[in-house]
Structure 1
Amino acid sequence: MQMFFRIGLGALLAAGSISTVYAQAVTQPADPSAPKTRAQVRADLVEWLAAGYDPNDWVNYPENAQRAGRIVAQRRAQQGNAPTTAQ
Structure 2
Amino acid sequence: MKSFVFTTVAASTLAMSVAAFSQTDSTATRAQVRAELMQLEQAGYDPAKGENPNYPADIQAAEARVSAANRATEYGGTASGSSSSGSRATTRPASGDEMRQLYFGGE
What TM-score do the two structures reach when normalised by structure 1?
Answer: 0.50
Which segments of structure 1 move beyond 3 Å, counting only runs of 4 or more? Answer: none
Residue aligning to 1:73: 67
RMSD value over aligned CA atoms? 2.4
Matching of residues 1-87 of structure 1 within 5 Å: 34-57=26-49, 58-80=52-74
Q: Which has the higher contact order (CA 8 A, sep 6+)?
A: 1
Instruction: State the secondary structure of the residue aligned to 2:63.
Output: helix
Work out the CA distance in 2 between the residues paired with 1:37 and 1:79: 23
Give per-residue Cα distances to partners, 1:6-44, cap 9 Å, x unaligned.
xxxxxxxxxxxxxxxxxxxxxxxxxxx621111111000
What TM-score do the two structures reach when normalised by structure 2?
Answer: 0.42
Larger Rg computed on CA atoms: 2
The structure in which a higher percent of residues are helix is 1
Using the aligned pairs only, state the percent identity: 37
Query: One-letter code of the match for 1:70?
Result: A
Residue aligning to 1:4: none
Count of residue correspondences: 51
